[in-house]
Chain A
Amino acid sequence: MSPTNSRVDVRKTYKLYIGGAFPRSESGHSYEVADSLGKFVANAALASRKDARDAVVAARKAQASWAGRTAYNRAQILYRIAEVMEDRRPQFVQATQQSEGLTAAKAEKVVDEAIDRLVWYAGWADKITQVVGNANPVAGPFFNLSTPEPTGVVAVLAPQRSSLLGLVSVVAPVIVTGNTAVVVSSYERPLPAVTFAEVLATSDVPGGVVNLLTGSAATIAPWLAAHMDVNAIDLTGIAGEPALATELEVAAADNLKRVRRAPAVEPDWTLDPGLEPITAFLEIKTVWHPIGI
């Protein structure tokens, strides 16, 4: 916006993304989001525990059919997300610049990396089974095959600093194998996540596969960690908060959630992620059948 323009901005209050829709927080609360220099940018919805609950319901509802799609189809959809992001590249660059205070060149690089990461993960959809599954030569007349399956509904605490690349790096590995996700975005830098939600809504991702909550991980995460219908939780977003991490791990034990622990510091998201972000949310299922006539 040119400062000489006398037009008054239409200020926006961004909403949550739950079950494919964009509701406001049921609590009615929102919070002001500032850019890296402290200047007001927009209002974001402040997700409550009830929003988290609704998001889990949406994620559970979507999970079986998402996992039931062919791996090829999930790959296509993840690739489609990358395509739509590429379309909206300028918007992501702007959002990342605002959020993270990057130069235009650096922001472009981050966005490129985020899109490329999605493309990378998209390709894993129909390969991960071949890499982490195998046939087992049991000592008897049995066919025996171990294959990975999605864990189910995964709560994801997205990184606080890397608002786009970090977000994509924790969401894509969860959903590519058929899990559905309830994601709590960076508290201070939620806008790339909001834009990402808009991309998801327009790129063939079924509603409920990714549910995006803007707000405070410290407030929402305990409800997700204790939720008995959440199968796993990624604590990456609370890097460097050992007390909260411990509290969440304790809560997660109530239904033996798979926990991806919080690192001491937020990782360098430009590094090769390896397979761990995917395999952390897979279950190995082994099927036996006799071989006979």
Chain B
Amino acid sequence: MTNPFEYAPAPESRSIVDIKPSYGLFVNGEFTEGHGTSFKTISPATEEVLAEIAEADEADVDAAVKAARKAYEKVWGPMSGRERAKYLYRIARIIQERSRELAVLESIDNGKPIKESRDVDVPTVAAHFFYYAGWADKLAYAGRGTDPRPLGVAGQIIPWNFPLLMLAWKIAPALACGNTVVLKPAETTPLTALLFAEICQQADLPPGVVNIVTGAGATGQALVSHPDVDKVAFTGSTDVGKAIARAVAGTEKRVTLELGGKAANVVFDDAPLDQAVEGIVNGIFFNQGHVCCAGSRLLVQESVADELLAKLKRRMSTLRVGDPLDKNTDIGAINSAEQLAKIRELSEIGEAEGAGRWSPACDLPETGFWFPPTLFTGVSQAHRIAREEIFGPVLSVLTFRTPSEAVEKANNTPYGLSAGVWTEKGSRILSMANQLRAGVVWANTFNKFDPTSPFGGFKESGYGREGGRHGLEAYLK
């Protein structure tokens, strides 16, 4: 039966954004050409080329670090916290004022639904700057001694899944603490970082305090290994995180790493089931599952597994996949052809290993990179889809019988970024929260973020925390 209530297209207008044909690097307060080659950034939803982006080479990175050093020594380091705060507040306000523009641009370049960039990413970005702005003149009260000092120049590398939000997580605390930064956005999603550079200009932020160098792995390597970088902050894959840890071995560089995950979302038989279903959906399908803390392993108590799965499948059938700029889209485009290939490969492995694959009927657009919301049943801990981070809208469903089995399975992974627990029994929540080896435990909720709340992993999910009072530690000595 066709549904008579078909939602008509409700596209957000993209006329608010003005994408230039090409972009240079943002160094010392100005856009510069760069010495390296260039690369293209495309819309993952349409494969249309959006702009040519300069690829920073070693000399460009060096120029950016020099600018940051100079700004650190002459301007930003000596500036009082009270004055730094006002710059950060300014930036926060401008982000709010230009929020629609930022959201549309983020959805175009990244492929995420406008609903999310508009309601989650961009508001949280502004909130992050507001939060850390307020710390700039209160660092002596942060519990890190009466005269905590900045580290110097921070080299920061961010991923493509939350381009602007990860930028905020990196830049806001660094600047609040008196550091200057050289930030490299991901090669598939540079546009909002470059728009942020314009915002820095608009805020009259002193030149060199924020520098943006675009590029791929080589640019990142040059930044990490630059001898005048005092601090490296990275969010991305565990493999690259390990390489960074090796690269800084034997140096004085401080490092924080926010890496991969394979979070267990544990549902007990006394859970608030309808909300658990929402939490599962939000946990794995939010941002196309391109979330390091995604609840990619559903651990459901066997006694309620059938009921929960029936509800979950019905709910998945209402997810709307398509145009990221349509206000009713729930799942947008996969960020890149490369990522799509990886998701497809792991899903095929899941099938080959005997897990049951299911997706609701859904029409995917012809061009662009798309993957339907997918779940695998009959998954065991031995399956690769239960161990490896897929970073896509793919959920592995496992069952358990007792709380101790749930804990064992949940912790049976080299990762330890996040975990979810669903039960109406308070004491069980607290017990599970104690036993789960993860930096963030969401109980009866999932994928919640807030500037005041520290985020970061145990074990191979990395080290250091971002957000909250704890997030200051990464940028102070």
Contact = CB atoms under 8 A, between A and B. Distances in A.
Interface of A: 131-132, 134, 136-140, 142, 144, 146, 151, 231, 242-243, 245-247, 249-250, 252-256, 258, 283-290
A151 to B, nearest CB: 8
A256 B448 contact: no
A288 B453 contact: yes
13 contacts: A131-B143, A134-B469, A136-B452, A136-B468, A231-B459, A249-B246, A253-B242, A253-B246, A286-B439, A286-B455, A288-B443, A289-B429, A289-B443
Contact of B257 (A131, A134, A137, A256): A256
B153 to A, nearest CB: 19
Contacts of A285: 433, 438-441, 458
Interface string B412-448: 0010000000000000010001000011111111001
Nearest to A144: B453
B429 A249 contact: no
Given A142-B445, A287-B433, A250 B246 contact: yes
Contacts of A146: 453-454, 468, 470
Interface string B244-266: 01101110000001010000000
B127 A139 contact: yes
Contact of A287 (B243, B441, B458): B441
B439 A256 contact: no
A58 to B, nearest CB: 20
Contact of B448 (A138, A249, A254, A255): A138
A136 B442 CA distance: 14
A242 B443 contact: no
Nearest to A253: B245
Nearest to B245: A253
Contacts of B250: 242-243, 245-246, 249
Contacts of A132: 143
B448 A288 contact: yes
B241 A290 contact: no
A256 B460 contact: yes
A287 B453 CA distance: 9
Contacts, number: 104
Interface in B203-256: 238, 241-243, 245-246, 248-250
Nearest to A232: B463
Contacts of B459: 231, 255-256
Contact of B441 (A140, A254, A286): A286
Given A249-B249, A256-B238, A142 B448 contact: yes
A138 B450 contact: yes
Contacts of A136: 450, 452-454, 468
A68 to B, nearest CB: 8
A50 B238 CA distance: 29
Given A246-B250, A253-B246, A289-B443, A284 B454 contact: yes
A237 B213 CA distance: 39
B111 interface: no
A144 B245 CA distance: 31
A253 B241 CA distance: 9
A243 B249 CA distance: 10
Contacts of B248: 249
B409 interface: no
The interface centre, meaning the residue of B243, B249, B259, B452 with most chain A CB atoms within 10 A of its CB, is B249
B242 A254 contact: yes
A285 B245 CA distance: 22
Contacts of A253: 242-243, 245-246, 249
B324 interface: no
Contacts of A134: 468-469
A140 B448 contact: yes
B465 interface: yes
Nearest to B244: A253
Nearest to B443: A289
Nearest to B446: A288
A283 B439 contact: yes
